[in-house]
Amino acid sequence: MNRFVIAKIIIIFSSLSYLGLIFFRNYNSPENIEKRCILKFEKDFKIPLETPREEWGLILDLADNNYLKCMGIPQY
């Protein structure tokens, strides 16, 4: 009985560890990072049509910088 409990604990721990590694590998894949950054970029990009041209340019620059920062691309 004692061996069965120990084996059960080892199997559960191993399974959880394996599932955790798969999740983090999938979560940190370049495709998923890009999807998350695009969603953040789209939120920054939604602005009213009445916005002046100068302010529009500043907002686009800010959104672009946020996208590059999210993707981990160094900025100059």
Amino acid 13: pLDDT: 96
C-alpha span between 27 and 39 (Å, rounded):
15
Q: pLDDT tens digits for 8-20?
A: 999 999 999 999 9
Report how far apart the first and last C-alpha atoms of the chain are (Å, whole number): 64
Tokens of 47: 């602005």
Task: Compute the Cα dihedral for 36, 38, 44, 46 and give only its sign.
Answer: negative
3-state secondary structure of 73: coil
Q: pLDDT tens digits for 28-59?
A: 888 888 888 888 777 766 666 676 777 777 87
